[in-house]
Each structure stands twice: as structure tokens, then as C-alpha cells.
Chains A and B, each alone.
Chain A
Amino acid sequence: MSELQGSEGTTQRLPVIEKAEYEPPPVQEFEGGREGRFWSARRVPAAVVAVLLLAVTGTFLYDIAAVRAHRPAMAWRRELAHQLATRPLDDTWVLVGAGVAAVLGLWLLLLAATPGLRAVLPMRRPEADVRAGLHREAAALALRDRAMEVAGVQSVRVRMGRARADVRAVAHFRELGDVRADLNEILDEAIRGLGLSRPPSLSVHVRRPGRKG
């Protein structure tokens, strides 16, 4: 590692790929405080809104320009003007349309203001300029696999929330209390192994097979 850092910034020496010795798992980690959420680029809603905006403005521009060039206006524009001028605000269709527009607007505002990517949990940075995120299902699978290592556990279901990992295990032998203690211990370690910036709190439920609850 030190050789690698020594060669940073210059390419006089050839990169030292063959010198890459294996390093044991992370010890020193970049301490950069808590990581923020991943923010989605909102590509799909942006594309949809852009297409609609283009269609509406393009049609109006075409028709208005055509009328300016002394061609007759298209029928839909006369019809639209007529409807706008005759329907009162308390007309049912006007109200329905206004309601739809308001809901749509609120939804777009929410899309614009919220991070999205709820499935990606931010991880601690291994280095200052490496940002990483772990998908929730991956975190749940990792916890489930570790929980299966506990003696007596027959099956496990893990629900990974953004702040809480909910583990439900079925144990077919050993005392439930012992199994729960083991689970708590191994899962605490597993959660540390996830390397999340905000480790979720753990809730463990153990029961016997065949009974609900």
C-alpha cells in the first residue's frame, strides 16, 4: 500500500499491479462523519416531463405560427378556447382536471425534493473520495446468511428497513433464549461487517417451528 501511495501523482514508474499484496480486512477506515443519502438523478420523471412539455409547447408554437402565416387555426385550439371560455370553475370536469393537476404537481414537487433511492443504504467511506452504497436486499441477505450460522436456527427471515433490521428466526432446538443471545451477538458483528454509515438497530425474534407469533 505504501509503495502505491508513493507513486501517486507521477507516472515515471510503471504502476505496481504485481506488487499488490493481499491486505487483511479493513482496520483503518476513513473517518468522515456520517454519509448522506444517495440522491437519484430522477431520469425517468425528467424524461417524461420533458417529452410532455416539448409536445405541448411544440404544438402551440406550430399552430400559432401557422395562424400568423394566415393559415386557419386547428380545430382543437378553437374548441379549447371555447371550452375555457364557457365552463365555469365549479363545473365537474374542471374540478376533476384541477384536482388531477394539483395532485400531479404535488407529486412532481415531492420527486424534486426527496432523495429517492430508498433501497440504497450509504456505507462508510473506505477512502476519502470513495462513496459507496449497499442495496437493502444485499444487506438483508448478508444478515440472513450470518444468522443461519447459529446452532439451532432452522430458518430466518430478515426485513431490512432504513433504520432497523428485523430478524425473525425459527429455532428447532436449544433454548430460545440462548439462540436469541447468539443471534444478537453474531448479528451485531454482521451489522458492523456491513460497513453502513448508520448501522441499523437490531430487533430479533425467535420462535419454535409450527406456531405463529
Chain B
Amino acid sequence: MLRIVNRVLIGIVGLVLLVVGGSVLAIGLGAPAPSWWIHNGRHDVLLSNAERTKWQDHGWWWPTVIAALAVLVLLALWWLTAVLRRRRLTEVLVDTGDGEGALLRGRALEGVLASEAGELDGVAQAHAHLTGTRTAPEARVHLLLEPHVDPSTALHHLAVQALTHARNSAGLEKMPAEVRMKAVKHRQERVS
């Protein structure tokens, strides 16, 4: 979700910069300007006093400018906090099957998942992080693989053991997971 927002907003800012910069560059270097464009030739200025004060006498101008700027400020503020805030799931709702529910602390589930993943064959270190909502949590797991381990085998063990256990113990139908694997750096050596 945040990924899409980030990309759309970055894209819009980039497009504005590209269009303004590119058009000024093109016209400044002598390209013919279309008649409806804001600049009409290479000797035109960026923003003349007449253009800048064109609507200043209208009653709606300053409120509109201030409102637009205020919206932009709020948008930027919201965006910045959304980017800086690390989403972490604080609790998972466990359906106990008798019509009631129990709350499981997200950190506890993360801890169990990480420690079980860390104990798997060939895994040197594991990190787990829960995102999503409390009824539909998602897991992010980072593994550090030991030397001489097949990544696909390690992934299979993780899926069958650690992830399945975590999912079952929280009573979840499903828990989508995203796994990233790195390897411990080590020197090359003959095995024999």
C-alpha cells in the first residue's frame, strides 16, 4: 500500500519537475514554443510581474493559493509520517473457536517465529517482523544462511516448520509470508 503511494507521489513530483525543467530548457535553447504555452520564446522571462499578479485583485485568489498550499503541506506531512513510521503489528487476534477471541502479542509471535527459524538447519540468524492487520497478519522473515546450505532446502524447512507452526499456533487460516535470504560471508575453502 505504502509502496504504491510512494511511487505515485514520487512519480507526480518527477513528472512536474521534468515537464517544467524540460520545457524551460527546450525553449531556452531555441525550440519553438506552442502559442498556448506559458513561455513564448527564448527571451521571455520565467514568470513576469504581470503574470504573477494577474489574478491578485480577484477576491478568490489569495484564499485559493493559501488553501492549495495548506493542502500540499498537510499531504507532505502525512506522507512523511507514513514513510517514517515503521508499521509493526502489536497484537494478533486468535480465534479460540468458542465465539470468543484472545489477543496474542505481536512481539511474542515474532519472537517465536524468529527463534524457531533461527534453529532450523543451516540458518545462522533469523529476523521476523509482522505486518498486516490483527486478523490477517503477514510475516516478513529475514534469514542469514550458513555456508554449504541449499537455499531452496532452507526455504522449504522454514515454510514447513517455522511458518506453519506460527500460523497454527495463532489459529490462523493463512499467514502470507515474505522471506529474504542472505548468506554468511566466508572464505573459500576446500571441503575435503
The 4 tightest CB contacts between A and B, nearest first, are A195-B152, A108-B14, A101-B21, A105-B17
Q: State whether the Cβ of A187 lies closer than 8 Å to any Cβ in chain B.
A: no
Q: How far is the CB of A194 from chain B (nearest CB, A)?
A: 5
> Do the beta carbons of A85 and B45 come within 8 Å of each other?
yes
Alpha-carbon distance A123/B180, docked complex (angstroms): 10
> Do the beta carbons of B168 and A4 come within 8 Å of each other?
yes
Q: How far is the CB of B188 from chain A (nearest CB, A)?
A: 6
> Do the beta carbons of B16 and A61 come within 8 Å of each other?
no
Determine the chain B residues whose CB is within 8 A of the CB of A50 once the complex forms. Answer: 9, 76, 79-80, 83
Q: State whether the Cβ of A17 lies closer than 8 Å to any Cβ in chain B.
A: yes
Contact-residue bracket for chain A = 35 or more
> Do the beta carbons of A137 and B183 come within 8 Å of each other?
yes
Determine the chain B residues whose CB is within 8 A of the CB of A132 once the complex forms. Answer: 155, 178-181
> Do the beta carbons of B183 and A135 come within 8 Å of each other?
yes
Determine the chain B residues whose CB is within 8 A of the CB of A193 once the complex forms. Answer: 150-153
Q: Given A89-B27, A145-B188, A113 and B11 touching (CB < 8 A)? A: yes
> Do the beta carbons of A87 and B169 come within 8 Å of each other?
no
Determine the chain A residues whose CB is within 8 A of the CB of B66 once the complex forms. Answer: 61, 64-65, 68
| The one of B14, B73, B158, B164 that contacts A107, using a Cβ cutoff of 8 Å | B14
Known: A10-B171, A46-B9, A134-B151. 5 other contacts (CB 8 A): A23-B156, A64-B69, A105-B21, A108-B14, A111-B14
Determine the chain A residues whose CB is within 8 A of the CB of B22 once the complex forms. Answer: 98, 102, 105
Alpha-carbon distance A131/B186, docked complex (angstroms): 27
**7 A–B contact pairs at CB < 8 A?**
A85-B46, A91-B28, A112-B11, A127-B159, A130-B158, A131-B177, A195-B155
Alpha-carbon distance A8/B19, docked complex (angstroms): 54
Determine the chain A residues whose CB is within 8 A of the CB of B45 once the complex forms. Answer: 84-89
Q: State whether the Cβ of A133 lies closer than 8 Å to any Cβ in chain B.
A: yes
Among residues of B, the one whose C-beta sits closest to the C-beta of A139 is B151
> Do the beta carbons of A25 and B156 come within 8 Å of each other?
yes
Q: How far is the CB of A29 from chain B (nearest CB, A)?
A: 8
> Do the beta carbons of B152 and A194 come within 8 Å of each other?
yes
Q: State whether the Cβ of A1 lies closer than 8 Å to any Cβ in chain B.
A: yes
Alpha-carbon distance A47/B82, docked complex (angstroms): 9
Q: How far is the CB of A5 from chain B (nearest CB, A)?
A: 8
Q: How far is the CB of B46 from chain A (nearest CB, A)?
A: 5
Q: How far is the CB of B160 from chain A (nearest CB, A)?
A: 6
Alpha-carbon distance A29/B152, docked complex (angstroms): 10
Q: State whether the Cβ of B108 lies closer than 8 Å to any Cβ in chain A.
A: no
Q: How far is the CB of B118 from chain A (nearest CB, A)?
A: 15
Alpha-carbon distance A148/B153, docked complex (angstroms): 20
> Do the beta carbons of A99 and B165 come within 8 Å of each other?
no
Determine the chain A residues whose CB is within 8 A of the CB of B159 once the complex forms. Answer: 126-127, 130
Q: How far is the CB of A1 from chain B (nearest CB, A)?
A: 7
Q: Given A8-B168, A47-B80, A126-B160, A85 and B48 touching (CB < 8 A)? A: yes
| The one of A25, A90, A111, A138 that contacts B183, using a Cβ cutoff of 8 Å | A138
